[in-house]
Amino acid sequence: MLISAAQCRMARAALGLSLRELAKVAGVSVNTLSRVESGGNVTSRTLARVQSILSGQGVVFRRDGSVGMAAPRAGPRA
């Protein structure tokens, strides 16, 4: 399941990233990311790339259209 425009906006906001910052990390233009967030015409590959970047930062995309943050993983015990 690929993310919706609203989920992308919510995830970016939750991470405190600007359009420019996320676009740079995702390797897409600001215009392309803006189209993703407005539900415009983008390839599924682009959408999957943005989703992967956000997921890698701990964002969890829920089937109900909401987003959450994954619990931090515990580090090694001493």
Contact assessment for residue 49 and residue 26, using Cβ atoms and an 8 Å cutoff = yes
**Residue pointed to by tokens 């015990």:** 77
pLDDT of residue 74: 56
Check residue 76 and give its pLDDT: 57
Chain segment 26-46, per-residue pLDDT in tens:
999 999 999 999 999 999 999
Tell me whether residue 76 is in a domain: no
Residue range(s) defining the domain that contains residue 22? 5-69
Residue 43 located in a structural domain: yes
The amino acid that residue 20 corresponds to is: R
Domain count across the chain: 1
Where residue 64 falls among pLDDT bands split at 50, 70, 90?
A: very high
CATH number of the domain to which 34 belongs:
1.10.260.40
Q: Is residue 53 part of a domain?
A: yes
38 token code pair: 């407005």
Per-residue DSSP letter, 1: -
- Average pLDDT of every residue of the chain: 92
Assess whether pLDDT exceeds 80 at residue 73.
no
Mean pLDDT across 3-14: 96
